[in-house]
Chains A and B, each alone.
Chain A
């Protein structure tokens, strides 16, 4: 149960960082309220369908999860910058203990993000169905992807670089290339191709399909496989790089 001691410590570090929590949990609420307000000003039948609450909520939820990359990356980069990790590397903790310790505390944050997003969406007019629970459940796959990406970047970059790359690049990539704010078809061309190659769009479509009860579509359209493939690849890469980087040869 060595991993548990390290996990508890990581969880405390996350909870005690109000700024990250405010961004991770507050930002999606603000976005949902803002975009719904914009949508309410657009006459019925005009404007993109993305701003309809049942389409908007999965997009905002995936966007919110991009902050998990920032949280995980900062945690690891901060630890690498301090001597704490150096001390811990001389203990019997294994690479798996570290990765579990950094990953596990972020998954409840992802669940909280989902719950907050959908509660606000219900208040804004989303119809209540059991699919909401399934949408939150399936969002744990992209949550794991974003967390692994944070660990990967936190292993390679310093705290300042992680702040820049995760805080700006990853969140913007998620925002623009996920099709959350506007359909990728509206832009088309290379933008659409890149969007479909990356996992962000598929993470949103997967959650949308789950919310709309299109369970077979999740599998047949391949969204879940793309997200799963990215998650496994980034997670494994994060473990390999963390192990080799930490055990400097």
Chain B
């Protein structure tokens, strides 16, 4: 069942075309990797899908709702964890999560239950009453993801969730993402291809705003004629059909 459908989605900034006629479909429950070098248009695509930026042309549907005509409906069913850690630094993890629960109009009991579940799933128990500004980068990212999951969204956008984290924090965060995989549709951007290969069901590879290919890791390796996923990605991007 299709959860996200992009139809010729395009975003232009003056002379720059950041996303150029992107069309693809993502299935419900998929963990979908959006790959590309810096400037490929991944973040702009996520911004359009999460209603932060309007497309110049084209449209996209999430759960049957258009980003152009039903942005408010879409905001009720999606969540985003942006590249930078999007948290209120002066508040504790619990306060951040309660704030998000309130924004989604959750009842107190339901919110407390969900907070408790997320606390377990993302390993936050020891830091729940600690202010974010006193936490390590890894914990901040986990809180950021927990905040995105508070309203049990149908679609979660994770934009470079492990950016700037050390190897241990990165590994722990991937484990946390694995724990929620399958429960919702996840669109993920990352530069860590080895981990992406292990985690994602399918990928879209972008270059200069255009889609180069879509498929599973195996499909992409086969298409590039490489055994290694990273080598296949590099080859496809270098050859770039854009």
- Decide if B76 touches A9 in the complex (CB within 8 Å): no
Nearest A residue (CB) for B95: A12
- In angstroms, Cα B147 to Cα A88, docked, is 10
User: Which residues of the partner chain B approach A249 to less than 8 Å between Cβ atoms?
Assistant: 53-54
Min CB distance, B65 to chain A, in Å? 13
Q: CB of A1 within 8 A of chain B?
A: yes
- In angstroms, Cα B101 to Cα A248, docked, is 26
Q: CB of B91 within 8 A of chain A?
A: yes
Nearest A residue (CB) for B13: A248
Min CB distance, A94 to chain B, in Å? 8
User: Which residues of the partner chain B approach A91 to less than 8 Å between Cβ atoms?
Assistant: 75, 100, 103-104
User: Which residues of the partner chain B approach A13 to less than 8 Å between Cβ atoms?
Assistant: 88, 90-91
User: Which residues of the partner chain B approach A6 to less than 8 Å between Cβ atoms?
Assistant: 99, 102-103
- Decide if B52 touches A90 in the complex (CB within 8 Å): yes
- In angstroms, Cα B105 to Cα A87, docked, is 16
Q: CB of A220 within 8 A of chain B?
A: no
- Decide if A5 touches B101 in the complex (CB within 8 Å): yes
- In angstroms, Cα B95 to Cα A247, docked, is 26
Min CB distance, B129 to chain A, in Å? 14
Query: Which of B87, B90, B103 contacts A5, CB < 8 Å?
Result: B103
Q: Kindly identify, within residues 1 to 16 of chain A, every residue whose CB is under 8 Å from any CB belonging to chain B.
A: 1-2, 4-6, 8-9, 12-13, 16
Min CB distance, A7 to chain B, in Å? 9
- Decide if B88 touches A8 in the complex (CB within 8 Å): no
Contacts A83-B82, A249-B53 known; A88 to B103 CB distance under 8 Å?
A: yes
Q: CB of A216 within 8 A of chain B?
A: no
- Decide if A90 touches B53 in the complex (CB within 8 Å): no
Mark B32-55 against chain A: 1 for CB-CB distance below 8 A, else 0: 000000000000000000111110
Q: CB of B86 within 8 A of chain A?
A: yes
Contacts A90-B75, A90-B78 known; A1 to B102 CB distance under 8 Å?
A: yes
Q: Kindly identify, within residues 192 to 243 of chain A, every residue whose CB is under 8 Å from any CB belonging to chain B.
A: none
Min CB distance, A244 to chain B, in Å? 12
Nearest A residue (CB) for B56: A249
Mark B96-111 against chain A: 1 for CB-CB distance below 8 A, else 0: 0011111111000000
Q: Kindly identify, within residues 67 to 94 of chain A, every residue whose CB is under 8 Å from any CB belonging to chain B.
A: 82-84, 86-93
- Decide if A12 touches B50 in the complex (CB within 8 Å): no
- Decide if B80 touches A1 in the complex (CB within 8 Å): no
User: Which residues of the partner chain B approach A12 to less than 8 Å between Cβ atoms?
Assistant: 88, 90-91, 95
Contacts A9-B88, A9-B91, A86-B82 known; A4 to B102 CB distance under 8 Å?
A: yes
- Decide if A83 touches B54 in the complex (CB within 8 Å): no
Q: CB of B79 within 8 A of chain A?
A: yes
- Decide if A248 touches B103 in the complex (CB within 8 Å): no
Min CB distance, A99 to chain B, in Å? 15
Query: Which of B76, B84, B144 contacts A92, CB < 8 Å?
Result: B76
Nearest B residue (CB) for A9: B99
- Decide if B105 touches A1 in the complex (CB within 8 Å): yes
Q: CB of B216 within 8 A of chain A?
A: no
13 contacts between A and B (CB under 8 A): A9-B88, A12-B90, A82-B84, A83-B83, A86-B52, A86-B86, A87-B147, A88-B103, A90-B50, A92-B72, A92-B76, A92-B104, A249-B53
In order of increasing CB-CB distance, the 10 nearest A-B pairs are A5-B102, A83-B86, A87-B86, A83-B84, A83-B82, A90-B50, A16-B90, A9-B99, A90-B80, A84-B86
Q: List 14 additional A-B contacts (Cβ < 8 Å) besides A2-B104, A4-B102, A8-B102.
A: A1-B102, A5-B100, A6-B99, A13-B90, A16-B90, A83-B82, A83-B84, A87-B80, A87-B82, A88-B103, A90-B52, A93-B103, A248-B52, A248-B54
- Residues of chain B whose beta carbon lies under 8 Å from any beta carbon of chain A: 50-54, 72, 75-76, 78-91, 95, 98-105, 144, 147-148
